[in-house]
Amino acid sequence: MFRKFLIALPLLALAAPANAVEIRLSGTLLSSCILSLSTPGQLAISGDAASYGSENVGGLGATMTVVAIGVVPSVSFTAPVIDSPAGFSPTAQAQIRYTSLGGANQAYTSAASSSSAVRLLDTFTIHGRILSGDGFQSGSYAVRSTATCQQ
């Protein structure tokens, strides 16, 4: 009788089905990029009245935060334009420059520009200026550029 039990035991082990469970972890990632201006810039006149810019005494650069998910982005800036009082010098030139913690470093330019030296979480400091050989008349001025994020 003992022998029959030993023979039956391996048969029982072979006959029992193994439990199987498929483990699947999945998700869908939608790349996104958000730009937010945390500090608007402030222009100030230079001592020689040849420039009105954020790096002159009393001026302040703008601060923009980049938050991206998925792919590291590229940030682009349109060519800067001037908002000025009517009749202001048509030869005046708007320029911007920027740096970022991720390594972007654009010298002053009046053209469109972009940087791929950006991190998923990054901070840009943007400076702007208006150069005018004719000086500045009374009124409100601004240097405008639009930033976009591409992934």
CATH classification of the domain holding 54: 2.60.40.1090
Residue 13: inside a domain: no
Closest CA to 93 of 105, 106, 109, 77: 109
Which residue is listed with tokens 């498929």? 22
**pLDDT string in tens for the chain (151-residue length):** 455 555 555 555 555 667 899 999 999 888 899 999 999 999 999 999 999 999 999 999 999 999 999 999 999 999 999 999 999 988 999 999 999 999 999 999 999 999 999 999 999 999 999 999 999 999 999 999 999 999 9
Q: Rounded to two decimals, what is the model's pTM?
A: 0.81
Domain of 82?
Answer: 27-150
Q: What is the pLDDT of residue 147?
A: 98
- Looking at the structure of the chain, the number of domains it has is 1
Q: In b/e form, how buried is each residue of 28-42, taking b as 16+ CB within 10 angstroms?
A: eeeeebebeeeeebe
Residue 104: inside a domain: yes
DSSP letters along 40-88, please?
--B-EE-TTSSEEETTSTT-B-EEEEEEEESSPPEEEEPPPEEE--TT-
Q: Do the beta carbons of residue 116 and residue 33 sit within 8 Å?
A: no
Residue 17: inside a domain: no
Residue 35: inside a domain: yes
Residue 10: inside a domain: no
